[in-house]
A and B are shown apart, each in its own frame.
Chain A
Amino acid sequence: MRLTLDQVSPGKRVKVVSIGGGRGCRQQLFGLGVYPGEVLTVLRSAPFAGPIMVEANGTTFMIGRGMAQRVVVEEVD
């Protein structure tokens, strides 16, 4: 099932399908090792529609909702 990263509930593992948005946004994610095909774990999300915290290959980072909406992922069991 495909959904965007902001819809993933904490604790779930997902695989990146595509990264939308502008060049700046995707290059930032590339810098952190987030590429199509990589597996991410959503660790937690901040209240008040705040950012979500994600782990990818040992790197932990936070990503704002707006940007997370542009990352299409699919669930991994």
Chain B
Amino acid sequence: MRVVLVGQPNSGKSTIFNYLSGYRAITSNFPGTTVKYTVGKLYVDGLECECVDLPGTYSLTSADAAEREARRFLLEERVDVIVNVVDASLLGRSLELTLELLELEKPMVLVLNMIDEAERKGIKIDEGKLSEILGIPVAKTIAYTGQGLTEMVHEALRAWREEIKGRPIPFSRDVERVIAEVTEREEIRRLPARFVALKLLEKDPDFPIPSSPHLEEARRKLEESHGRPADVVLSSERHALAMNIYEEVVQVIRSPRVSLRDRLDDWVMHPLWGYLILVAVFCALFFGVFKVGSYLEEPLIGVFDRLSPLLSRVFSSGGVAYSLAKGALDGIAGGVGIVLPYLVPFLLALAALEDSGYLPRVAFLLDSFMHRIGLHGKSVVPFLLGYGCSVPAVMATRILESERDRIITAILATLIPCSARTVIILGLVSYYLGPLYAIGVYVLNLLVVGVAGMILSMIYPEITPGLILEVPRYHPPSLRSIVIKSWYRLKEFIIVAWPLLIGGSALLALLQHFGFERVLNRALALVTYPLGLPQEVGTTLIFGILRKELSLIMLFEALGTKDVLGVMSVGQILTFTIFVVFYIPCLATAAALWREIGGRRTLFALLFTFAIAFVLASITRMAWGLWVKV
């Protein structure tokens, strides 16, 4: 049996999904976290069920790519039972999607999630009456505590076994007459016929059929009698129905209290304090991560420094085995000593920030700046995710409506220093030169993203459609969700990157042992020479394409020391960091880009970012040279 979770953004689908399947979908407190569907398995009464978490969608009239994905799945894939998750505190609005889902004529259950929040708002819902009106089972849940979820699963099972499909609720009589004309006259091969008829009337671009005189006639009739475009007529009909049902099943016990949110938002979204808070939050984030990281880094590296002399006792120094073991040990040390101390606190902090509901507020504050680089506020979300990892950032561009915005945002998001690059900035610049330099790198990065955005907007000179974004409630971040999310992201590093790091480090040691890396470095001098970098760092740049953090670890390996300042000047360290931060995104990101914006544009993105890196690194080199002379 395949259970499919459908609902509006932020209704708690992913939380329910996590609870059910034990698989960890990423949940967040902003719309559009699930940009691609996730599949998990669960067992109910010994029956194996497949559970699918679809991206949140406001309606089945798709606007952005994530919504289109949800609708495509519902229409084209096998769906045994639909579990429609609804934020109970927003029932009126949510019922419109429910009414549309009923038109799909699939077994279905309605889940009133966050029922506690609805009660806090003073709303009491009569689920018996609601179930009677819609003709499907209705369950009440509080997803984050797990309350009601077992009952919900059993209701879903029942709906599937007994094929409880509910029934589409009829619109006004004249509208129904037009719909009937279309279903009768048009040859609708795709099912469900009523749903398709509605889409045809709406002129949905995803339902192209050669327009027939009957259809045109029917649409004209509808538009003339209502004086509005057909899609407005139908949406308004659904809205009116939803409102009627809402009135019937909801009892407002008391008016909602002025929430803490409004008072908090007065500060957080204030024209002055809002920006100060924004700067403070991000400074605190990076300083905090740096403090924790450097506090942990030294003792951890110390452990490994003490281990390496032991190696020379086991293996004869100078032999192949020694080089190999030393390389591998450095790889392990790099993971434990350099990456983890910064990565773990960073991921935890980012997850807390995501869950709190702060990010949409950032979109509010930065929208006008984003317009200046040809985008709008929603692009802030992929950018901020980019500080964690470029792959989810590139994928999160699916929440944007226009393809042009998606392309530009995806390319720019790869320029944002991800946690791997943060490790380099913190572990190299901040550790050796001081935190102020690191902040300088971040500020420079923002400027570069801005300028690159302007350049890309000139290449794709279309006007951005503008921002419409729901502002979720604040949530005290739940520890469980933060830990799960961070672990999910950290696992990527441990499973994929770390073995690469250890293997790469051993490989480099071997190459060095046989003197091969000199050949590579000489070839890469094409890049390193004009930038004034030591030739030995050449190979590290290759490893950086596999995983960005490898550049740093390999740098230690290539230079043969952790005392970077002894062999590289301050200017060289800065030039190296700038180059590594901006040049070609790592393989995983390139693959994500390929999927999202296509091969040709990915190639363009690679060349574009490489050019930026090269130019900036050259400027850094020259500027630093002048600065030192002065």
- B236/A35 in contact, CB under 8 A: yes
Of B121, B467, B469, which contacts A58 at CB under 8 A?
B121
Interface residues of B in 438-458 (CB under 8 A from A): none
- A24/B59 in contact, CB under 8 A: no
Q: Mark A10-29, 1 if CB is under 8 A from B, else 0.
A: 00000000010001111111
Q: Mark B421-433, 1 if CB is under 8 A from A, else 0.
A: 0000000000000
Chain B residues whose C-beta falls within 8 Å of the C-beta of A59 in the assembled complex: 90, 93, 470
**One of B361-369, B484-492, B529-537, B540-548 contacting the partner:** B361-369
- B466/A33 in contact, CB under 8 A: no
Chain A residues whose C-beta falls within 8 Å of the C-beta of B371 in the assembled complex: 64
With both beta carbons as reference points, the residue of chain A lying nearest to B271 in the complex is identified as: A47
Chain B nearest CB from A19 CB (Å) reads: 8
Chain A nearest CB from B553 CB (Å) reads: 42
Mostly, the A contact residues are mixed
Number of interface residues of A (CB under 8 A): 34
Q: Most B CB atoms within 10 A — which of A58, A66, A67? A: A58
Chain B residues whose C-beta falls within 8 Å of the C-beta of A63 in the assembled complex: 466-468
B377 interfacial contact with A, CB 8 Å: yes
Q: Mark B343-373, 1 if CB is under 8 A from A, else 0.
A: 0000000000000000010011101110100
Of B121, B235, B266, B377, which contacts A27 at CB under 8 A?
B235
- A61/B471 in contact, CB under 8 A: yes
Of A23, A43, A51, which contacts B229 at CB under 8 A?
A23
CA distance A47 to B239 in the complex (A): 33
With both beta carbons as reference points, the residue of chain B lying nearest to A66 in the complex is identified as: B466
- A35/B235 in contact, CB under 8 A: yes
Question: Known: A27-B231, A36-B236, A48-B369. Contact between A58 and B468, CB under 8 A?
Answer: no
Chain A nearest CB from B360 CB (Å) reads: 7
Chain B residues whose C-beta falls within 8 Å of the C-beta of A46 in the assembled complex: 269, 271, 364-365, 367-368
Chain B residues whose C-beta falls within 8 Å of the C-beta of A47 in the assembled complex: 271, 368
Chain B residues whose C-beta falls within 8 Å of the C-beta of A30 in the assembled complex: 58-59, 61, 96, 235, 239
CA distance A31 to B203 in the complex (A): 17
- B470/A61 in contact, CB under 8 A: yes
Chain A residues whose C-beta falls within 8 Å of the C-beta of B203 in the assembled complex: 23
Chain A residues whose C-beta falls within 8 Å of the C-beta of B256 in the assembled complex: 58
CA distance A26 to B266 in the complex (A): 28
Interface residues of A in 27-73 (CB under 8 A from B): 27-33, 35-36, 43-44, 46-51, 53, 57-67
Interface residues on B, range: 35 or more
CA distance A61 to B360 in the complex (A): 9
CA distance A31 to B239 in the complex (A): 10
Chain A residues whose C-beta falls within 8 Å of the C-beta of B231 in the assembled complex: 23, 26-27
CA distance A24 to B271 in the complex (A): 30
Q: Most B CB atoms within 10 A — which of A28, A35, A47, A48? A: A28
B277 interfacial contact with A, CB 8 Å: no
Chain A nearest CB from B95 CB (Å) reads: 10
Chain B nearest CB from A28 CB (Å) reads: 5
Closest 10 CB pairs of A and B: A31-B58, A33-B93, A64-B466, A64-B467, A47-B271, A48-B368, A50-B368, A67-B466, A66-B466, A60-B471
Chain B interface (Cβ within 8 Å of chain A)? 8, 58-59, 61, 63, 89-90, 92-93, 96, 121, 203, 229, 231-232, 235-236, 239, 256, 262, 265-266, 269, 271, 360, 363-365, 367-369, 371, 376-377, 401, 465-471
Q: List 25 A-B contacts (CB under 8 A).
A: A19-B232, A24-B63, A24-B401, A27-B59, A27-B61, A28-B468, A30-B58, A30-B61, A31-B96, A32-B470, A33-B96, A35-B239, A36-B236, A46-B269, A46-B367, A48-B368, A51-B367, A53-B265, A53-B471, A57-B90, A57-B93, A58-B121, A62-B360, A62-B467, A64-B468
